[in-house]
Amino acid sequence: MKKRIEWSFLHNLGPGEIPQERRRNRKNPLFIVPHAGYIYSGPIASNSYYYLVQEGKPDLVIILGPNHTGYGSWVSIWPEGEWRTPLGSYNVDQKLVKELVSVSEVIDIDEKAHLYEHSIEVQLPFLQYFFNDLRILPIVVLMQTPEIAESIAEGIWRFINRHSDLDIVVLASSDLNHYDPHEVTMAKDDLVIRKVEELDHKGLYRVIEEQDVTVCGYAPIMVSLILAKKMNKRPYILRHATSGDTSGDKSSVVGYLAARFGD
């Protein structure tokens, strides 16, 4: 797995080098990352992790992903314990979980939604390659509406303000359009990316609905746009590609986006 992570960074669709920690002043607290198999989306995801790692080890990473299975509540956070991968384990801080739930109107403590969900766990090895121990808060979202995204963002914003002493990073895990030819997917994705650049979460939702763009994690993306506005952070598109760019088969592809929100 370490070799696959390194391959992702060194790929021609990645940043071209493995990042080194260079500073501790967090300028990029929000990221969008894809969550497919590493051979498909790993190089694209590595562009976001390149910036995250350069700014040093965060104290806490909040990871938002879509609920692909339909199990569990509308918005589900894992309650406590360790999440393990071949590269190690990360702790879910029970105290911080309870605190985030207490300041949110929609986030529930619920394990069921996470049991067969991959959108969060595939992010962990990218972090574990560089950081041995981190605290994480994993959240999956089933009900993906602008109103739910606004409520999630408001809860996270309150939580962040309560913990100004902590270096907190938020990851929005999502793939973009699914299973159209490469050219169609790139065009549909561009409509979504335009709304990301405008920090327009309601416009993003409209585009997805009206243009039939099959983004799986649009609520996590909407949350990142809302938080970016609250934090006065600008969007930077790092890489946009499809599974056709990495696999060579462009007949039916999935779109991937790496983006950061920073100064």
Distance CA 262, CA 207 (A): 24
225: nearest Cα among 263, 193, 196: 196
Distance of CA 143 to the CA centre of its chain: 17
pLDDT at res. 72:
84
Distance CA 25, CA 200 (A): 27
Distance of CA 203 to the CA centre of its chain: 19
Q: Flag residues of the chain having pLDDT under 70.
A: none
pLDDT at res. 207:
98
Residue type at position 131 = F
pTM to 2 decimals?
0.95
pLDDT at res. 111:
82
Domains and CATH numbers, the chain: 2-262 (3.40.830.10)
CA distances for 209 relative to 40, 63, 140, 180, 191, angstroms: 26, 24, 21, 16, 12
pLDDT at res. 241:
99
